[in-house]
A = this chain, B = another copy of it.
């Protein structure tokens, strides 16, 4: 297949102009990818050295990471990489359910016809990718986020888009990473996505919201189950 699936939904591909911004991006990736392990103590001077900058911009980066909850900070006492516990993950999934449910409702109201068509095409690509890669793998996850991202955009609600994109999706990525390989949910997810897209195409706001909420709370139930099993084995 020549037409590759758009994998990354990361916001501004245009290289960040400012040092603090670039460092923010770097550290963010390092945390999400697990290179900076959860709970790691953050020492400003050490990190500044590591990233080859002075403490000023590094501090700005840390503050921003604190805002998106990737770092927790206590005045004068220092900061650590967040530790995702079950409680926090549940909070995130609940918030996501509320926000994306609303986004789906708004998308059903506002999404232009051509974008709906394009959404359908995206799902076709996902289906093709599933049979190719046998359902598992990295692509499913990013493909999933792609779908959700498009709906968030279609909601035309900047606040919701910003919070999903800038904060919740990052944390969701970490959740998934932590819960390891999720059993092949790709087929289930795809058919749910199709249902949601259909509801949007029919301009059925109520149904679109309902289906999206079910889809997300279903995902949470599976993640929670995995976490419980992990916990039992310890």
Contacts and interface: CB of A to CB of B under 8 A. Distances in A.
Given A17-B76, A21-B75, A159 B92 contact: yes
Contact of A17 (B75, B101, B160): B75
B159 A95 contact: yes
Interface stretch (A27-35, A60-68, A121-129, A138-146): A60-68
A59 B63 CA distance: 11
A160 B91 contact: yes
A102 to B, nearest CB: 4
A157 B91 CA distance: 5
A98 interface: yes
Given A75-B18, A98-B102, A158 B91 contact: yes
B63 A94 contact: no
A154 interface: no
A17 B74 CA distance: 11
Best-buried of A64, A98, A157, A160 by chain B (most CB within 10 Å) = A98
A163 interface: yes
B163 A163 contact: yes
Interface string A96-134: 011101100010000000000000000000000000000
A199 to B, nearest CB: 17
Given A94-B102, A95-B159, 9 more contacts: A18-B75, A60-B63, A63-B63, A63-B64, A88-B158, A92-B159, A94-B157, A97-B102, A98-B99
